[in-house]
């Protein structure tokens, strides 16, 4: 599917800033619109490990499209795992076939890594919440249909945060300009703005005050997913470099005949395979309900996104000047995978989470 429906269009989508909605519908027909949601309302009932394989495969054709698909799946899972029967019956049959698309709204202009400090408010007004505030860097914003918004329904801190679903046509919901980005040009990124936006309380996911915990649980899987997208970028870049080295000649020999460059390929393969194994382990830890899964997911995201970006960068170097040209896809894998070190929690935050887990385990011993 990736070879036929995704890879041939990757560079066009990037150059023309096309959000490939039609492709997502085809992807959903394969069962990839709600991969790890229960089958009751249209989900595929697959595992996090299955999802990792899927996101990696699609990312070999377009990192940006696979990344958005992972976000949509995270939103669907949040509804499936936490929503009421009425919420699940309403939304999952629309999200699974991707006839309607979802966006995840946590980050704000003033609170990125410090997500618990978010300021968007949801004031109670009878059977409604009235939302005021804004979210930043929201993938798909303006082109998607449902927004899972973390907002403050109580006091400061994580226990005052709830998750509320806001539909696109709700009065008081608007969007900022499309951001100009280094990569991820095949999906719109915008600010999401709430101005006296009235949302029924029946749109809240879970009890009041449970939104921050839900958002963090969603991010555990999101970190595995985005790391899987980096695997796809590195895999495609490694294959492209290998092929180029067999056709490009310098000093009368193929590049593949130079031992120094052979060593480069070997090191890139080691980076890719070690990252892949760690990402798969993290996915399995989520599937098994391992209480240590959050730290493993953070470690996998940290390692894979940085190592795989380096693989893409090395591949570009092996292409020489041609790697820097937009005609060759390796530069796009580099650009599109760079942000994976930032989103779903920066890699500095990942280091903090891993270090806390190590120190905690030493204390227990």
Catalytic positions, please?
344
**Number of C-alpha atoms within 13 angstroms, CB side, residue 323?**
20
CB 284 within 8 A of CB 221: no
Pairing of strands 249-250, 253-254: antiparallel
Q: What are phi and psi of 73, to 5 degrees?
A: -65, -40
Strand partners of residue 123? 130
- CB neighbour burial string for 73-90, b if at least 16 within 10 angstroms, e if fewer: bbbbbbbbbbbeeebbeb
CA neighbor of 342 nearest in space, from 315, 309, 317: 309
CA distance 120 to 134: 6
- Angle at which helix 347-364 crosses helix 293-319, to 10 degrees, equals 140
């Amino acid at each position: 599917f990736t070879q036929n429906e995704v890879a041939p269009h990757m560079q066009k989508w990037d150059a023309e800033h096309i959000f490939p909605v039609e492709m997502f519908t085809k992807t959903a027909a394969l069962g990839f619109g709600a991969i790890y949601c229960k089958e009751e309302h249209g989900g595929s009932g697959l595992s996090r490990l299955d999802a990792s394989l899927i996101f990696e495969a699609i990312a070999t054709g377009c990192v940006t499209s696979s990344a958005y698909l992972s976000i949509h799946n995270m939103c669907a899972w949040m509804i499936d795992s936490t929503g009421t029967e009425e919420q699940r019956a309403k939304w999952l049959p629309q999200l699974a076939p991707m006839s309607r698309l979802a966006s995840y709204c946590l980050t704000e202009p003033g609170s990125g890594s410090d997500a618990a400090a978010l300021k968007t408010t949801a004031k109670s007004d009878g059977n409604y919440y009235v939302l005021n505030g804004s979210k930043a860097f929201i993938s798909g914003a303006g082109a998607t249909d449902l927004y899972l918004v973390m907002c403050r329904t109580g006091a400061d801190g994580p226990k005052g945060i709830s998750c509320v679903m806001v539909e696109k046509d709700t009065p008081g919901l608007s969007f900022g300009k499309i951001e100009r980005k280094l990569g991820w040009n095949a999906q719109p990124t915008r600010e999401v703005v709430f101005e006296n936006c009235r949302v029924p309380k029946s749109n809240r996911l879970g009890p009041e005050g449970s939104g921050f915990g839900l958002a963090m649980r969603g991010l555990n899987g999101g970190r595995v997913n985005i790391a899987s997208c980096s695997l796809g970028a590195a895999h495609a870049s490694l294959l492209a470099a290998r092929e180029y080295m067999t056709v490009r000649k310098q000093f009368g020999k193929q590049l593949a005949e130079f031992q120094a460059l052979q060593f480069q390929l070997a090191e890139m393969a080691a980076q890719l395979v070690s990252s892949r194994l760690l990402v798969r382990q993290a996915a399995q830890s989520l599937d098994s309900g391992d209480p240590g899964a959050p730290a493993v997911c953070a470690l996998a995201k940290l390692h894979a996104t940085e190592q795989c970006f380096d693989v893409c960068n090395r591949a570009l170097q092996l292409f020489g000047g041609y790697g820097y040209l937009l005609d060759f896809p390796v530069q796009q894998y580099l650009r599109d995978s760079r942000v994976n070190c930032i989103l779903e929690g920066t890699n500095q935050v990942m280091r903090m989470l891993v270090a806390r887990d190590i120190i905690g385990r030493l204390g227990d011993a």
